[in-house]
A and B are shown apart, each in its own frame.
Chain A
């Protein structure tokens, strides 16, 4: 176990370094002239040169990267020679656009994304798995056909269509929920849990719709496969009641692969649900990263990419550990 953790943590760090290098290179090899964009339209060449120095863009790429990594690990000094200032650990640098520290931007945006992702995950896991089980156990019957048809439909719907339709119907036409422009991050923040719930309900449903559909299909397929296994026949041959056969022997094996997929999906979403956040104006990591890309805000982009990559790799490790708990055949080495 200890060896496993050490090995996987080393791999996590190596992967993050690789991700940071690739993002850094991709961006700097691109056509965007950050300094010119930052100082505006009527900018003199001298001003652009000054901006470059201020942002540290005059340095060679390798120096820029090493400076960045130093900041990440221990913090660093930043800014033009005239006005140096300290950027605390973990220093992801400052936004080119509004000079905010990137870490502050991420800390601000992350709770929205977490609220959105976790809420949606609870919905899609409940809906997807339970309907998947019902469909799988009633293969070929109306319950199955209904679930398969609905999930095929759900999988093929684009997120913007679901989101905008929900807004149009629930908020505008039926006026069941109020429009909110300033979302609260946590249920215990003002103006309270009811407002928080009302604010996130439609985003949750939108995000959960697509995932639920996929999970119904996944659970159904797993359930059908498991119920055809030899050990299910053995369980029946022992004279166990149908409930025990289905739930204890069938479901236990069928949901195991779902743990893997769920961990990876949730890990991926914590890096930002771009479309859903954009549609519902939730200032989470997804929306922040879109804004950053549009305005060539390199430090924000690298920061969010690194955080997203961390969540995905970390989720992988958690899934592997969970798997060893669930499946006695798996040993962590």
Chain B
């Protein structure tokens, strides 16, 4: 199976990808930034599908290309130096080739995004309500009064008390959790069919985090939206997602349903991610197992498997293939895909005998 054929033959999360009814289809998405030091390959051939009403989690460490992928889908890289190739099909329309003018009409209306750090993501000089109704006004032919009413309703819907009076507050007058709710209200004001949440709970404390995730889930049900949740928090993924895509060095290294990724992961990097969740039932030294080494350079991507410099299991593969040959993303089970040279049976053995006991 070659990389080109891959998306057509994939059967991911129970949906046929070729004639898929998936609302969002991403095929061989590549994003490159020319810099003085060389070409940064931030996203290197990503395929994914998101069906309406379901949630796809994208996990990976900082610099793995999660946010760039989402910005490419939103068309936010248009007009920058970034070179975006591949296809992003939303409801049958190709977004990569869409003009900025066409893309602008979709943004905030059909596709919208919740950003992390709502304090810096909101304009400090404008009232929260005005910032939200601005998004409503630009996509709906209504007057200011109707936009004001829609905004107050939305603020109430995301759980902001006294929405009519909080409408006139500035972002700095909101607490962190309230600001994130307002950010969500801003993203949902036009009932988007695809919602991309880029680390929506990173800046929040744990109790607020749970409320925000619950809120996103509820609103997803109500509007039957497709949701892409970008995070580095596996706990969040387990709680909210239907399927998971693990990114490393701009590539997808493993994808599958939440059960497949959490109970039968087959890629050493995913094992590392699962191992790096702190465990309170262990001694202090054994609580947190970090993945040794540094994230790869996206300018000089490692030869062979992108994870090989940090992988502890390269001896399990013959002929030094991990350092020489770039592994393809191969089907391990129905909707489970893994990019690894280690033999599938051997991977299962390592997982159950070496990794699970230490988790």
Contact = CB atoms under 8 A, between A and B. Distances in A.
Interface residues of A, number: 22
B12 interface: no
Interface stretch (A182-190, A300-308, A322-330): A322-330
Contacts of B104: 236, 239-242
A237 B110 CA distance: 11
Contacts of A244: 138
Contacts of A235: 123
A231 interface: yes
Contact of A328 (B112, B117, B172, B186): B172
B204 interface: no
A44 interface: no
Contact of B120 (A230, A237, A238): A230
B108 A238 contact: yes
A327 B106 CA distance: 32
A46 interface: no
Residue picked from A236, A241, A242, A327, most chain B C-beta under 10 Å: A236
Given A231-B122, A234-B122, A240 B138 contact: yes
Q: Which 9 A-B pairs have the closest CB atoms?
A: A239-B108, A239-B107, A238-B135, A238-B108, A230-B120, A230-B121, A231-B123, A328-B170, A234-B121
A234 B115 contact: yes
Residue picked from A231, A237, A240, most chain B C-beta under 10 Å: A237
B124 A231 contact: yes
A131 to B, nearest CB: 22
Interface in A200-230: 229-230
Interface of A is mostly: helix
A53 to B, nearest CB: 62
A329 B125 CA distance: 8
Nearest to B187: A237
Given A237-B108, A241-B138, 4 more contacts: A233-B76, A233-B115, A238-B135, A239-B105
A230 B115 CA distance: 9
Interface string B214-248: 00000000000000000000000000000000000
A8 interface: no
Interface in B59-111: 74, 76, 100, 104-109
A256 B126 CA distance: 14
A320 B150 CA distance: 36
B113 interface: yes
B92 to A, nearest CB: 19
B153 interface: no
B260 interface: no
Contacts of B135: 238-240
Contacts of B120: 229-231
Nearest to A231: B123
Q: How large is the interface on B (under 10, 10 to 19, 20 to 34, 35 or more residues)?
A: 20 to 34
Interface string A20-37: 000000000000000000
Contacts of A236: 76, 104, 107
A241 B106 CA distance: 12
A212 B280 CA distance: 62
A237 B74 contact: yes
Interface in B124-143: 124-125, 134-135, 138-139
B109 A239 contact: yes
25 contacts: A230-B117, A230-B120, A231-B121, A231-B122, A231-B123, A233-B115, A236-B76, A236-B104, A237-B74, A237-B76, A237-B107, A237-B108, A238-B138, A238-B186, A239-B104, A240-B104, A240-B108, A241-B138, A242-B100, A244-B138, A252-B123, A253-B123, A253-B124, A328-B172, A329-B124
A249 interface: yes
B276 to A, nearest CB: 27
Contact of B134 (A238, A252, A253): A238
A231 B170 CA distance: 14
A201 to B, nearest CB: 37
A270 to B, nearest CB: 29
A253 B125 contact: yes
Contacts of A237: 74, 76, 107-108, 112-113, 115
A110 B109 CA distance: 58
A252 B130 CA distance: 15
Nearest to A329: B172
A113 B274 CA distance: 72
Nearest to B114: A237
A235 B170 CA distance: 16
A237 B76 CA distance: 7
A234 to B, nearest CB: 5
Nearest to A234: B121
A217 to B, nearest CB: 23
Nearest to A252: B125
A255 to B, nearest CB: 11
Contacts of B139: 239
Contacts of A253: 123-125
